[in-house]
Chain A
Amino acid sequence: MSSIPLQPGALGTPNEQARENYLNIKHTVASWLLTKDHKRIAVLYGLSISIMFFLGGLAAAGIRVALVRPHDTFFSSEAYNKLFSAHGIIMVFFFLVPSIPATLGNFLLPIMIGARDLAFPRLNLLSWYIYIIGALITLGAIATGGIDTGWTFYVPYSSVYSNTDVVAVIVGVFFAGFASIFTGINFLVTVHKMRAPGMTWFRMPLFVWAMYATSIVMVLGTPVVAITLLLVVLERVFGVCIFNPACGGDPILFEHLFWFYSHPAVYIMILPSMGVISEVITCFSRKRVFGYEFVAFSSMAIALLGFFVWGHHMFVTGESMYGGMVFSIITFLIAVPSAIKVFNWSATMYKGNVWLSAPLLYAIGFIFLFTIGGLTGLYLASLAVDVHLNMTYFVVAHFHYVMVGGAIFGYMAGMHFWWPKITGRMYPEGWAKLACIIMFVGFNLTFFPQFILGFLGMPRRYHFYPPEYQMWNILSSAGASVLAVGFAIPFFYWMWSLKYGELAGPNPWGAKGLEWAIPSPPPSHNFDSVPIVTEEAYAYEEIYARELAGDYSDSQVDRPVSPLNTEQPDQKTLEDHSSTEESL
């Protein structure tokens, strides 16, 4: 992909570990806390969001414990309200929104476009500090009494009636919002102005396109929710009157402003995952992505259309019928770019030399779960059906399929794919596959019953429910414990791999991309000389041809020989392959 010569030596040698890289250049605490290196900031973010994910997961565990019995006595109803609020707030604002952009995006975006760092390294560090301040404020408020408004902070309950510490939590979320705005500004400027010579827009990896689209949403959407939440605080603290219906305000206006950010925010969560999946699937299919421009533009289409669908959260609030119809139509439209991506990923794998490694396994899990989550979204986008399903567990199941099944499976795929690059060590492949399968089974067991519960009419956010729903709830709680095991396994083998993992060479997967052309872990300055890009992304034809001929030397870790290679290289397959590429 670039003119940088790959280091010879297939697998990493002990000497290579002694080479100076971003991890071992300095070891002091200050060198981490005051770093301006995008890679170290990515690691800081990674650790922070992992802690938040664990805490949010604990709250989820509490919810599932409470819902095992129809009339739960383990938690008080107040505690239950605080549990689901804490779960939503922590997971949405402090895990999902920063997850892939702030970790993998921070780490990879400058390297992928051939830059030495992001455009504003200090702003990047500031973003992490603001995130931490926001997280500490929010966690402090949750620990000292909690909040019971749900993550949506609907007025007038949040601004007038709730007796919990709404102000502190909102201030925390406000901080987290600014962290995400700063990340977005940084990425936008970096993509526009810092690309290496020859790195044209249509040579950028699709992960960069996804990050670019995500940044647009972050920059345009987040300020709106920031001011909206600020208004709630002002209403609560100073008694000014903006949303409170008791003095002429309109609570629906709050919902409009809130969802103007919070619906696009789900694309902040899913678009980066889609970028990861595009990278993983092309690499492990040894094929150029099917329809590069379509995948790139579908990211942009999702980002832009995502700003015109927020009204579908308010179909049953007395919204104008015509408004509802327009929002419904645009919501259906957004399924088109999403489907383009799914079809193009499938077409990329078709006739590829598929290597079923752990990252690809996660990616395939993503495609399954995202498809289910996306299609059930269309149920909710239909005006009539939504009247029945709104505010039920169907909605809960739907957005968990997108946010957990989509966003987290994408995150896991990316973390496994780039783990050798980030740490310089391989993770244990067998354990990774096992964790993926446990996660997939546990996830479906947890959330598929919730579709049924919702269809049967069980409302979300209620502590008690009629006994006839109990069987499905028990299934869901059982699934949650399986899911928890699935999430715990990677934690342990990743820790293990840091010390005992096989050394990864610069390019264990035989993947294309500037990040694989530099050593792992990368040196602090990323590139010794400015790379000059001469190829488009995903030029896998040569590797494909070599592997068809039985030469598997491109991948530096052992890869199982696929059935494709048990026979002689088939000239027709090769021709088919290249003609597919040309027709694109």
Chain B
Amino acid sequence: MSSAQLEVAPQRLAHQFEDIDQQNECYIVGMWTFLVTEIMFFGALFLALTVYRSVYPNSFFEAHLALNKWLGLLNTFILLTSSFFVAMGVRAKMLGQNSATQFWLGLTILCAFGFLGVKYVEYSAEFREHHFPGPNFHFVATQPPGGDLSANSQVASGQPNISSRDFPAGYHPQQLELHKRQLFFSLYFVMTGLHGLHVIIGILVLGSIWFLIRYKHPSVDDYMTLELAGLYWHFVDIVWIFLYPLVYLIGRQ
């Protein structure tokens, strides 16, 4: 990054800093520290997912078959592409090409909306099938879409005790199976929902920068603001990189 600084327009120096280098380093370190907190934030959810998956392997296997892995894959491609676009945008901004920056930012935001659109299709399918946890939760495990039913039942019959060993007597087994799948969908909705929230925040941040550049606001004279927003956007991307295999793929045979 620093090699390109020679070409950028002079940055504004806040009063607490000695020079531009110190200011930029502070911004970068601060953003990375913030991303560390975000990692811890999602980390707790990944931990919960891992714990419950190891406790209820069969139920989680059956439940995750209901997710559409191809739509998930599509979203992975969309997000990865958007990360490329935002990196191009930062590069254009460093070179002082404002219209190119706007072009790449526009593409990034378009991808973000595309991601949310695909997510909407997925969510509405899951709501239609009453997969949203709550009193109306309903799950038919006999017809996993596109899944291999025989392999599924083999796993289930091979280890009959795993799924029920942790519960006291008195629970109806079928009800119990339903509950454990509900657990999977709870985590699925919370994790993808929070990730979606981060995508929306990303859209707001990148969109404001787009408008600020459009109206030549002094706060975006230099590339630093966009650089930080780009870091955030890459983070949103990386969360999905972990989320997609752990929720959609693991357990498929």
Interface, chain A (partner B; CB < 8 A) = 110, 115-121, 123, 181, 184-186, 188-190, 192-194, 219-224, 226-228, 231, 234, 238-242, 246-250, 253, 257, 260, 525, 530
How far does the Cβ of A173 sit from chain B's closest Cβ, in whole Å? 15
Interface residues of B in 8-64 (CB under 8 A from A): 14-18, 22, 25-26, 29-30, 33-34, 36-38, 40-45, 47-48, 51-52, 55-56
Number of interface residues of B (CB under 8 A): 40
- Nearest Cβ distance between residue A332 and chain B, in whole angstroms? 26
CB atoms of B16 and A239 under 8 A apart: no
- Min Cβ gap A230→B in Å is 8
Taking the closest CB of chain B, its distance from the CB of A281, in whole angstroms, is 31
Q: A55 → chain B, closest Cβ, in Å?
A: 28
Contacting residue for A253 out of B30, B48, B182, CB 8 A: B48
What distance in Å separates the Cβ of B126 from its nearest Cβ neighbour in chain A?
13
Contacts of B26 in A (CB 8 A): 119-120, 189-190, 193-194
B183, A242: Cβ atoms closer than 8 Å = yes
Q: Which of B18, B40, B56, B180 contacts A530 (CB 8 A)?
A: B18
CB-CB under 8 A for A219 and B37, given A227-B44, A228-B44: yes
CA distance A530 to B16 in the complex (A): 11
What is the bound-complex CA distance between A53 and B217, given in angstroms?
A: 44
B134 touches A (CB below 8 Å): yes
B146 within 8 A of A: no
Asked whether A248 lies within 8 Å of B29 as measured between CB atoms, the reply is no
* Cβ-defined partner of A248 (8 Å) among B25, B36, B43, B56: B56
Contact A249 B22, beta carbon cutoff 8 Å: no
**Measured CA separation A194–B134 after assembly (Å):** 51
Q: In the complex, what residue of chain A is closest to B135 when comparing beta carbons?
A: A239
Q: Which residues of B contact A253 (CB under 8 A)?
A: 48, 51
Q: What is the bound-complex CA distance between A234 and B134, given in angstroms?
A: 11
In the bound complex, CA of A227 to CA of B135 (Å): 24
B36 contacts A219, CB within 8 Å?
A: yes
User: A222 — nearest CB in chain B belongs to which residue?
Assistant: B37
14 sampled A-B residue pairs with Cβ under 8 A = A116-B16, A188-B33, A193-B22, A194-B16, A194-B17, A224-B40, A228-B44, A239-B133, A241-B186, A248-B179, A248-B183, A250-B55, A257-B48, A260-B44
Bound Cα distance from A12 to B94, whole angstroms: 52
B201 to chain A, nearest CB (A): 14
Q: Mark B189-231, 1 if CB is under 8 A from A, else 0.
A: 1100000000000000000000000000000000000000000
In the complex, the answer to whether A223 meets B183 with C-beta atoms within 8 Å is: no
The 8 Å CB contact of A120, one of B30, B42, B48, is B30
Q: Given A189-B33, A242-B186, answer yes or no on A248-B41 (Cβ-Cβ < 8 Å).
A: no
Name A526's closest neighbour in chain B (CB-CB): B16
Given A228-B44, A250-B55, residue A185 in contact with residue B37 (CB < 8 A):
yes
**Given A119-B30, A185-B34, A240–B190 Cβ distance below 8 Å?**
yes
Q: A223-B41, A240-B189 are in contact. Are A248 and B176 (CB under 8 A)?
A: yes
Give Cα distance in the complex from A577 to B133, angstroms: 70
Chain B residues within an 8 Å CB radius of A241:
133, 179, 182-183, 186
Q: Is the CB of A249 within 8 A of B51?
A: no
- Across the interface, name the chain B residue whose C-beta is closest to A178: B37
In this complex, what residue of B is CB-closest to A196?
B18
Instruction: Evaluate contact between B183 and A224: CB separation under 8 angstroms.
Output: no
Beta-carbon nearest neighbor of A218 in chain B = B37
* B187, CB-defined interface residue at 8 Å: yes
A20-B37 Cα distance, complex, nearest whole Å: 39
Inter-chain contacts of B167 with A (CB < 8 A): 248
Measured in the bound complex, the distance between the Cα atoms of B190 and A249 in whole Å is 14
User: Do A224 and B133 form a contact, CB below 8 Å, given A219-B33, A247-B182, A250-B51?
Assistant: no
- In angstroms, Cα B48 to Cα A253, docked, is 7
Q: Taking A121-B16, A250-B52 as contacts, is the C-beta distance between A193 and B29 under 8 angstroms?
A: yes
Is there an interface contact between A117 and B15, defined as CB atoms closer than 8 Å? yes
| Distance between Cα atoms of A249 and B56 in the complex (Å) | 11
Residues in B with CB closer than 8 Å to A121 are 14, 16
Contact of A193 among B25, B56, B189 (CB under 8 A): B25
With both beta carbons as reference points, the residue of chain B lying nearest to A249 in the complex is identified as B183
| Least distance between A60 CB and chain B CB atoms (Å) | 31
Closest chain B residue to A224, Cβ basis: B44
Docked CA distance A184–B29 (Å)? 13
Contact B16 A227 (CB under 8 A): no
* Cα distance, A111 to B40, chains bound together (Å): 31
